[in-house]
């Protein structure tokens, strides 16, 4: 196996290159084929499509109930975790003080306020600061814009932790693409050489956390993470995933940005309920030993947060898992200088996330090469990985177009049938009932707002409810379409355009 490959071009064997290229084409090809077949059969077999869309709507009705149930369950556990005295529980474990936390903060071109807010939450946490190693890794490309901020952070915070290291990630290193993954790779190696190895700290006694610049931890996060790490069956072969809440600047976000940010928050919250399918996303933690074993983060991929999980999963022949932690961390909703720029920023961010479809060729190819992982695990993990990206790119579009497409394309014979007459009414009623599931999201949204308190008038509450009703339309333009574009870029064998989410704080 070659676990460090990024694209088919990295393979020298022509047969392997063709196989990997086939898997690169597969996600986009199946998604486009699904949409084209929906149009074709709406024209040629409108009756079958009408039956399909009714079944599809009912499927989403029950899936909505399933999601709502798990969302409430996960949210309840998050509330319980916030109330728990994790430091007290941690102190009951012998030799818990041996554990160090290595925090990698990567900076692109974010304003000082964003960085400072994140570092202040480290200071406000209840974990001993003399057990925390901080690496602030900035991009050399933006040194002129950020050096003053980096110096300010270093001056204010460097003396408050066990070790504080500032690094500058060089631009244009061979074999790298610009992004958080390449910076994390650089920062991790610098931490190993300049701190960990010099002090002879055992790798298994270090938990490394990958933080975005805007990541704000809640006060008990490191105590909670430490407890889970020390209680894990095999901590060096486990990643730890907290619940990311996109609420730091939630009141500054435009309507569509706020709703989509909360939608992403809830998706990540309910995903905690399926640990067997959980893959690391955004800010997460793992054993430093495992990170060294796999050669640190892969610097030539876009989806670095999920790739580090798959690297470990394949390296250890599936003896690697993600432990959900029902404790929150918070990050920014997508906000730019103007409403239009925010919309563009959301689209590009979603496209970058959706480019995680490049994990499909990577995982499928290495599954075929790995004879140690059971067929059951390969089929289970492979199907879930593929289905999730297929659904991302197609389901919102199918739900939108199939309610009226058979009527529009099916011809006079179909339009005069009873099912054609009732199809819009039936689909509308089913989806209206399904929309009731949004009430759960609306209710939990107000609970999350209490974490970022602000006076909420009755008019604001009513407006916010209306905002949620536009979510289905927003899912088409800000979820399905960028996912479809990302898969098309992968299918054509082109690189995803380099882009970093701009962080704007208006207050």
Residue carrying structure tokens 């995803």: 496
Q: Report the pLDDT averaged over residues 349-359.
A: 93
Q: Please tell me which residue, 447 or 161, carries the higher pLDDT value.
A: 161
Among 118-122, 292-296, 340-344, 405-409, which is the least confidently predicted range? 405-409
Strands of 84-205, DSSP E: 100-107, 132-139, 163-169
Percent of the chain with pLDDT over 90: 58
Q: Is residue 420 part of a domain?
A: no
Q: What is the mean pLDDT of residues 398-415?
A: 72
Alpha carbon 135 to its chain centroid, in Å, reads 22
Name residue, tokens 């399926």: 274
| Phi, psi of 434, deg, nearest 5 | -60, -35
Per-residue pLDDT tens for 100-126?
999 999 998 889 999 999 999 999 999
Q: How far is CA 44 from CA 40, 52, 303, 360, 414, in A?
A: 6, 14, 40, 32, 10
Spell out the residues 6+ positions from residue 75 whose beta carbon is closer than 8 angstroms to its own.
269, 444, 447
Between CA 468 and CA 235 the distance in angstroms is 40
Residue 439 lies in a domain: no
**Residue 502: which pLDDT band, with cuts at 50, 70 and 90?**
confident
What's 106's domain CATH number?
3.90.550.10
Please indicate, yes or no, if residue 178 is contained in any of the structural domains.
Answer: yes
What CA–CA distance (Å, rounded) separates 305 from 280? 6
**Region 351-374: what's the mean pLDDT?**
95
For the cut 70, the answer to whether the pLDDT of residue 459 exceeds it is: no
How would you classify the pairing of strands 132-139 and 100-107?
Answer: parallel
Residue at 168 is within a domain: yes
Note whether 157 and 123 are within 8 A (CB): yes
Taking only the tens place, the pLDDT of each residue in 62-96 is 777 778 788 888 888 999 999 999 999 999 999 99
Alpha helices in 294-374, H assignment, sequence order: 304-315, 339-354, 359-369
Task: Note whether residue 98 is domain-resident.
Answer: yes
Name the band, by pLDDT with cuts 50, 70 and 90, for residue 414: low
Q: What percent of the chain has pLDDT over 70?
A: 87
CA distances from 139 to 167, 322, 352 (A): 9, 29, 19
- Mean pLDDT, the chain, as a whole number? 88
Decide if pLDDT at 129 tops 90: yes
Radius of gyration of the chain from Cα atoms?
Answer: 24
Domain span at 198 = 80-334
| Cα gap 188→286, rounded to integer Å | 12
Give the pair of three-digit tokens for residue 47: 């009756």
Which strand ranges, in their side-by-side order, compose the sheet holding 284-287?
Answer: 163-169, 132-139, 100-107, 206-211, 284-287, 238-246, 321-331, 216-217
Q: What is the pLDDT of residue 412?
A: 67
The total of other beta-carbon atoms located within 10 Å of residue 252's CB is: 16
pLDDT tops 80 at residue 437: no
Q: Is 137 a member of any domain?
A: yes
Going by pLDDT thresholds of 50, 70 and 90, the confidence category of residue 445 is low
Backbone angles phi, psi at 419, to 5 degrees: -70, -35
Q: Which helix (H) or strand (E) holds 219?
A: none
Q: Measured between alpha carbons, how far is residue 393 from residues 53, 406, 476 in Å? A: 17, 21, 9
Where does residue 229 rank: exposed (0-12), middle (13-18), buried (19+ CB within 10 A)?
buried
Q: Is residue 193 part of a domain?
A: yes
Is the model's pLDDT at 32 over the cut of 70?
yes
What pLDDT was estimated at residue 316? 96
Query: What digits encode the pLDDT tens for the residues 376-395?
Result: 999 999 999 999 999 999 98
Confidence of residue 327 (pLDDT cuts 50, 70, 90): very high
Instruction: Give the count of domains, the chain.
Output: 1
Please check whether residue 130 lies inside any domain of the structure.
yes
User: What integer pLDDT is reported at residue 83 of this predicted model?
Assistant: 94
Q: For 292-319, what is each residue's pLDDT tens digit?
A: 999 999 999 988 999 999 999 999 999 9
Query: What pLDDT, on the 0 to 100 scale, is given for residue 1?
Result: 66
C-alpha distance across the termini of the chain, in Å: 50
Range with the poorest average pLDDT among 159-163, 173-177, 195-199, 253-257: 253-257
What pLDDT, in 10s, does the model give residues 169-222? 998 888 888 888 999 999 999 999 999 999 999 999 999 999 989 999 999 999
Contact 89, 230 (CB under 8 A): no
If one compares 239 and 339, the residue with the highest pLDDT of the two is: 239
Mean pLDDT of 234-251: 92
Range of weakest confidence among 174-183, 280-289, 321-330, 494-503: 494-503
pLDDT at 98: 95
Contact 235, 319 (CB under 8 A): no
């Amino acid at each position: 196996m070659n676990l460090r490959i990024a694209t088919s071009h990295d393979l020298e064997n022509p047969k392997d290159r063709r196989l990997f290229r086939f898997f690169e084409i597969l996600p986009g090809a199946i998604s486009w084929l699904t949409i084209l077949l929906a149009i074709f059969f709406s024209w040629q077999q409108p009756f079958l499509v009408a039956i399909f869309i009714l079944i599809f709507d009912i499927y989403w009705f029950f899936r909505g109930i399933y999601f709502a149930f798990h969302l409430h369950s996960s949210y309840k556990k998050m509330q319980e975790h916030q109330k728990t005295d994790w430091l007290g529980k941690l102190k009951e474990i012998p030799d818990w003080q041996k554990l160090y936390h290595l925090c990698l903060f990567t900076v692109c071109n974010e304003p000082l306020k964003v960085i400072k807010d994140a570092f202040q939450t480290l200071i406000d946490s209840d974990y001993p600061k003399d057990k925390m190693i901080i690496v602030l890794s900035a991009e050399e490309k933006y040194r002129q814009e950020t050096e003053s901020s980096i110096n300010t952070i270093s001056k204010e915070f460097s003396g408050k932790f066990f070790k504080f290291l500032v690094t500058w990630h060089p631009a244009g290193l061979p074999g790298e693409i610009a992004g958080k993954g390449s910076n994390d790779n650089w920062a991790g190696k610098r931490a190993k050489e300049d701190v960990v190895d010099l002090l002879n700290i055992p790798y298994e006694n270090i938990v490394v956390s990958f933080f975005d610049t805007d990541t704000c931890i809640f006060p008990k996060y490191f105590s909670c993470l430490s407890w889970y790490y020390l209680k894990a069956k095999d901590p060096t072969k486990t990643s730890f995933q907290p619940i990311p809440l996109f609420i730091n600047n939630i009141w500054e976000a435009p309507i569509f940005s706020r709703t989509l940010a909360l939608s992403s928050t809830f998706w990540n919250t309910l995903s905690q309920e399926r640990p067997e399918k959980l893959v690391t996303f955004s800010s997460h933690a793992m054993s430093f030993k495992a990170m060294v074993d796999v050669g640190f983060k892969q610097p030539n991929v876009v989806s670095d947060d999920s790739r580090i999980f798959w690297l470990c999963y394949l390296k250890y022949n599936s003896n690697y898992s993600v432990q959900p932690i029902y404790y929150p961390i918070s990050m920014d909703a997508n906000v730019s200088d103007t409403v239009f720029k925010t919309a563009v920023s959301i689209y590009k961010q979603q496209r970058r996330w959706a480019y995680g479809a490049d994990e499909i060729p990577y995982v499928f190819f290495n599954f075929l090469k790995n004879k140690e992982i059971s067929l059951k695990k390969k089929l289970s993990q492979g199907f879930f990985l593929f289905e999730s990206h297929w659904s991302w790119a197609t389901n919102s579009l199918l739900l939108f177009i199939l309610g009226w497409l058979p009527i529009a394309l099916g011809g006079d014979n179909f339009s005069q049938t009873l099912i054609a007459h009732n199809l819009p009414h039936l689909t509308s009623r089913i989806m209206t009932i399904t929309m009731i599931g949004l009430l759960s999201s609306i209710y939990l949204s107000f609970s999350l707002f209490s974490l970022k308190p602000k006076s909420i008038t009755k008019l604001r509450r009513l407006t916010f409810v209306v905002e949620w009703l536009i979510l289905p339309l927003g899912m088409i333009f800000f979820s399905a379409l960028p996912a479809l574009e990302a898969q098309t870029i992968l299918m054509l064998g082109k690189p995803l355009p380099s882009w970093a989410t701009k962080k704007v704080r208006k207050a």
